[in-house]
Structure 1
Amino acid sequence: MRFVLRLLSPVLGLLVAAVGLITTIEVVTAWVAPASSPLVVPWPTWQAALLSSTWSSPVVRGVAIGVGVVGLLVLLVALVARRHDVRLTDPVPEVTVTTSPRSLARAVGHEVRSHADVVSASVVASSKKVVIKAGTLDAPDDVRAGVRERVDELLSRLPLARRPRVSVSVAATKGVK
């Protein structure tokens, strides 16, 4: 979502800049040559149409609803795109300590890959959940228990403010032992 927000911000900025530039051109044109027709925007016909509209017109209500929906969508994208840091226990009340989900996944992945029976591992972490997918040449059930113990031990050593749920799946891979 942060990617969408990074694309949406410059587009909206350019749109506002274009509207400002067109408005400036129209105002300067109206000051310099008031009798001439508008250059870009047919604002006299828009003005006449708006003078005949009231707040209870279906067009005005439709535009208001549309602007409100677009505003809520932009707000939703901005809220979803925030950083999802993993909180750690604060050493003192004045200090807030966080780490990234990538760093937590890297620490858990290093611990999982150090297990002798694991040949490959993939870890995805967030503040709520850690998902581990490992590959082994041995019996998956035996390795799963060992990996689970190592991850639980690691998470107990880390100063996490809230312990995430752990999901471990181990699959047997093909290979020569």
Structure 2
Amino acid sequence: MRVLLRILAPLLGLALAAAGVLFVIEVVAAWVRPDATTGLVVPWPDWRATLEGLTWANTPVPAIAITVAVVGLLLVLVAIAARRSDVHLDAPSPEIAVTTAPRVLARLVGTRVRATDDVAGASVTASARKVSVSAQSWNDSTPELRSTVTSRVDDLLAELPLRRRPRVSVSVQERKGPR
């Protein structure tokens, strides 16, 4: 969701900037040409005449209002879903809030997992709820590697002052080729 927000924010900003530029152009044009009957870029008098003839009972008005409300609600939901997903740690005192990024937890777990002799490579994703490890083993060490990696990750999580311990998920693939 954060990627969607990173795309939507500049687009909405550009749209508002374009509307502001159009507004400034029209205001300056109205000052320069006070006797003009039409706008320079936007046909304001035609739009005004059309809008003066509309009431809330006309067909397009409720549909447009509902569409704007739904789009606004979707934007609010996207913004709420894109909140930071910090991992909360136990604080040394009640006045202090201690958090870390999931990326930091993933790096810690990845470093510990890759230090295992039988691991050829590993990728780790972490959140406040779950740590997922995908390890690659050498040809002969696949059966016991899963339990070894799981115990290493569990030991690391026990050492960290996590407020809530995440679930651990480990998958192991065999790497072909020479060691």
Deviation at 1:32, TM superposition (A): 4.3
Structure 1 range deviating more: 82-91 or 149-158? 82-91
Aligned to 2:132: 131
Helix, strand or coil for the counterpart of 1:7? helix
Question: Unpaired runs of 5+ in structure 1?
Answer: none
Structure 1 range deviating more: 149-158 or 167-176? 167-176
Question: Which TM-score applies when normalising by structure 1?
Answer: 0.90
Structure 1 residues 125, 44: CA separation in 2 closer, same or farther (over 3 Å shift)?
same
Structure 1 residues 101, 40: CA separation in 2 closer, same or farther (over 3 Å shift)?
same
Superposed CA offset, 1:48-78 (max 9, x none) = 1111111122211111112112212222232
Regions of 4+ moved over 4 Å: none
Superposed CA offset, 1:100-136 (max 9, x none) = 1111011111111111221221111111111111122
In structure 2, what is the Cα distance between the partners aligned to 1:143 and 1:93? 40
Structure 1 range deviating more: 26-35 or 116-125? 26-35
- The residue type paired with residue 6 of structure 1 is R
Match of 1:154 among 153, 156, 159: 156
- The residue type paired with residue 73 of structure 2 is L
Aligned to 1:12: 12
In structure 2, what is the Cα distance between the partners aligned to 1:30 and 1:170? 71
Q: Percent identity?
A: 54
Question: Unpaired runs of 5+ in structure 2?
Answer: none
Aligned to 1:166: 168
Aligned to 2:49: 48
Structure 1 range deviating more: 91-100 or 32-41? 32-41
Alpha-carbon contact 2:118-2:141 (below 8 Å) kept: no
In structure 2, what is the Cα distance between the partners aligned to 1:27 and 1:72? 32
Helix, strand or coil for the counterpart of 1:153? helix
Aligned residues, how many? 177
In structure 2, what is the Cα distance between the partners aligned to 1:16 and 1:64? 19
Aligned to 2:99: 98
Question: Which TM-score applies when normalising by structure 2?
Answer: 0.89
Aligned residues: CA RMSD: 1.8
